[in-house]
Structure 1
Amino acid sequence: MIQELTQKAIDLLKSLIEVSSFSSEEEKSALLLEVWFKYHNIPCTRTKNNVWSIHKDFDSSKPTLLLNSHHDTVKPNNGYTKDPFTPIIEEGKLYGLGSNDAGGCLVSLLATYTYFYQQHNLSYNLIFAGTAEEENSGPNGLNSLLKTLPHIDVAIVGEPTQMQLAIAEKGLVVFDAEITGTPSHAAHPNNNNAIYNTINTLKWFQNISFEKTSKTLGDVKLTVTQINAGKQHNAIPANVSLVIDVRVNDKYTNQEISDFLQKNAPCDKITPRSLNLNSSSIQKDHPLVQAGINLGRKTYGSPTLSDQSVLNCPSLKLGPGDSKRSHSANEYIFLDEIKEGIELYIKLLEKVLI
């Protein structure tokens, strides 16, 4: 059965590659997930472009385990030399947009859920959710679905981790900042040039460090990623705008980082876009993690953001593929990674569910 499910999962991934499923435009990929459930006679529900299913033996007295991954993609970059919407297999690699992030994880978790759907007397309830708008942190993804789903006690979030155990994930806060000065003609003296005023601000951001270091996630990482000022060569602008990307470890809340920067950053204004994308983690002694360790998997802290950030329960990020390939030109996943992913997901859950 596992071999058959693996081949069907690969075929589904090929079909997913062939359809456009940019964030907020996932109608076609959501339909493909519905077709899978219908073919396997498993009831499912579609909420906007989120497709989810609850195991038929759901028992509210048992804890609930969510299997989640996303089916939206970013847009292909200009570096592609292969058609991003044509599934191409070469040397054991399946090329195509979304193959690695996170199509391989999605179809592997879907095959795993299908495998366990006919089994009875599980120690956990199982829910599968293939969700939308992960890549753009949109309002109609997993975050919107949580109020519809039963209470979730623990989750596996499918993202490419080479099937290693990401037991913690950094949060994210993006800030918009402004440095002001006196606008004037470039030909006249001006001791309050907003662009020059920005130099010290940039140095402050470059040198800032946060005291608390996480054992799994390391330091908070702050990076100025955008700067914009001026519209013409002969006019000194009134202000300079900056965008600051802050990756937050599990020793701070996003609110604490925001409060600190708003109090101390040498800017005339600094405002967080959102405080909702918090760091997440799961204890190393959790049965899911221990089951993975017993299968020879290693634990680590992930610097990248996923739908873990919207969950209010312990969550483990785990999936086939390599995060370094995500959003890259000629994205691919090895077919053997999908095979290994399904086998390991099943072995992991057998140690926990049975």
Structure 2
Amino acid sequence: MKQINLTAKAIDLLKKLISIPSFSGEEDQTADAIENWFKEYDIPFERSRNNVFAKNKHWDDGKPTLLLNSHHDTVKPNKAYTKDPFHPHIEDGKLYGLGSNDAGGCLVSLIATFTHFYNAENLNHNILMVASMEEENAGQHSLRGLLPSLPKIDVAIVGEPTLMNLAIAEKGLVVFDAIVKGTPSHAAHPNDDNSIYNTIEVLEWFKNYKFQKTSDALGDVKMTVTQINAGSQHNVVPSQVELVIDVRVNDAYTNKEIADILKSEAPCKIQERGLKLNSSKIDKDHSLVQSGIALGRTTYGSPTLSDQAALTCQSLKLGPGDSTRSHSADEYIYVHEIEEGIGLYIKILEGFLH
């Protein structure tokens, strides 16, 4: 199948996806558009809610499986937009629109790549393409919820904007709620146990705390206090201050280990909201990574979260576009990035699948 035609079709699909609002949980019409692609190329597919997925033609249950995955939901446009977020148009080589960079460009490039290989024979892996829903809000019907219905996956490429460099690791995330206690009182009376003043020392502890283990790919664990809430009246000292702590976990720790450490050592009561968003990685010497390195792509560790967190197999984050544009106003992706992305995806898989 000619790559030039696939690329043009992929850009047309991306324009269609941009024109359709597809906030997390509301992706019905973008799922329809993705279905239409598979219908046009006579590729059998399945749909579970707004997840659309397909297998390569010569699927063999005796072979390991490569997952190609990206998402078609978006965040809501922020108030700083100066362009219509649902009007796809090209200016100076940039295709503008909500979801163009995160992660529409990746998604259509992976769908085109899957289509390129769909009829190929004698591949050493099966190929499973999944266009998933609810990635942005880590919803229960996202890739995580779909996995029990899918065949066993041995290795994965998760399409997120990486400038087509190889994100061989991704930080996990644990969000904690913490409470700093004190003695409530009238503001006019002495109080040596003011919960707000007690928080000063606690904030210093979070600011200065260092987790011991570092990672070659992901560096240190990063812990940040992101929210603080206390008090309801000017003349009342509150009984407690509530904090929210965002912890980005490297691959030297499990999320549970981070939770156990903080529960043991933090100078206040602290409780995690959940432990499911784990760090991800793939060995640098994995043949999928080596195929990319042979094409001049560099490796790095990604600080941002994706559907990789749902996977237990080794996975690589890779895609056209730039992560710094994600969730920004007047989001865009360069057309040449999609063209390059499809070409590189195909070349990397040619080196891996044969």
Equivalent residue number for residue 273 of structure 1 = 273
Please tell me the residue identity of whatever aligns with 2:319.
G
SS in 2 for 1:296: coil
Are 2:20 and 1:54 equivalent residues in the alignment? no
Q: Deviations over 1:160-191 (max 9, x none)?
A: 00000000011100001111111122111111
Q: Could you say which residue in structure 2 is the equivalent of 1:315? A: 315
2:27 match? 26
Partner AA of 1:69 in structure 2: S
Corresponding residue of 1:299: 299
Which amino acid counterpart does residue 9 of structure 1 have in structure 2?
A
* 1:80 has 2:81 as partner: yes
Aligned partner letter, 1:170: K
Write out aligned runs for 1:66-105 (5 A): 66-105=67-106
Q: Aligned partners of 1:132 and 1:247: how far apart in 2?
A: 23
Matched, 1:109 2:110: yes
Partner of 2:208: 207
Alpha-carbon shift at residue 96 of structure 1 (Å): 0.5
The Cα of 1:336 is off from its aligned counterpart by: 0.1
Asked if 1:163 is matched to 2:191, the reply is no
| Counterpart for residue 327 of structure 1 | 327
Aligned-pair RMSD on alpha carbons?
Answer: 0.8
**Which range moved further: 54-63 or 167-176?**
54-63
Partner in structure 1 of residue 154 of structure 2: 153
Task: Indicate whether 1:43 and 2:41 are aligned.
Answer: no
TM-score, normalization: structure 2? 0.99
Query: Are 2:261 and 1:255 equivalent residues in the alignment?
Result: no
Cα deviation per residue 1:292-329 (whole Å; 9 max; x = unaligned)? 00011011111111111110100000000000000001
Q: In the alignment, is the contact (CA less than 8 A) between 2:51 and 2:131 conserved in 1?
A: yes
1:230-251 per-position Cα deviation (integer Å, ceiling 9, x unaligned): 1121111111111100000000
2:160 counterpart letter in structure 1: E
Whether the 8 Å CA contact 2:180–2:195 is kept in 1: the answer is yes
User: In 2, Cα distance between the equivalents of 1:81 and 1:65?
Assistant: 40
Residue of structure 2 equivalent to 1:136: 137
Report SS of the residue matched to 1:175: strand
Partner SS, residue 146 of structure 1: helix
Letter in 2 for 1:8: K
- Is the deviation greater in 317-326 or in 112-121? 112-121
Q: Secondary structure at the match of 1:147?
A: helix
Deviation per CA, 1:66-106: give whole Å up to 9, x if none.
Answer: 00001111111111111111112100000110000000000
Aligned pairs, how many?
Answer: 353
Q: Would the aligned equivalents of 2:319 and 2:341 in 1 still touch at CA under 8 Å?
A: yes
Cα deviation, residue 342, structure 1 = 0.3
What displacement does 1:56 show? 2.1
In 1, Cα distance between equivalents of 2:329 and 2:42:
37
Between the aligned partners of 2:19 and 2:147, the Cα distance in structure 1 is: 29
Which aligned runs of 4 or more in structure 1 are off by greater than 3 angstroms? none
Unaligned runs of 5+ in 2: none
Q: Provide the C-alpha distance between the structure 1 equivalents of 2:124 and 2:131, rounded to a whole number of angstroms.
A: 23
| 1:195 positional shift | 0.7
Gap regions ≥5 residues in structure 1: none
Residues of 2 paired with 1:282 and 1:325: CA distance?
A: 25
Q: Name the stretch that deviates more: 229-238 or 121-130.
A: 229-238
Moved more, 142-151 or 23-32: 23-32
Given that residues 58 and 119 in structure 2 are in contact (C-alpha distance below 8 angstroms), is that contact kept between their aligned partners in structure 1? no
Q: Give deviations 1:181-213, integer Å, cap 9, x for gaps.
A: 111221111111111111011000000001111
The one-letter amino acid of 2:276's match is N
Whichever residue aligns with residue 75 of structure 1, its letter is K
State the one-letter code of the partner of 2:207. Answer: Q
Q: By how many angstroms is 1:137 displaced?
A: 1.0
The yes-or-no answer on 1:191 pairing with 2:192 is yes
Q: Residue in 2 aligned with 1:182?
A: 183
Partner of 1:242: 243
Identity percentage of aligned residues:
67
Per-residue displacement from partner, 1:230-282 (whole Å, max 9, x unpaired)? 11211111111111000000000000000000111111x21111101111100
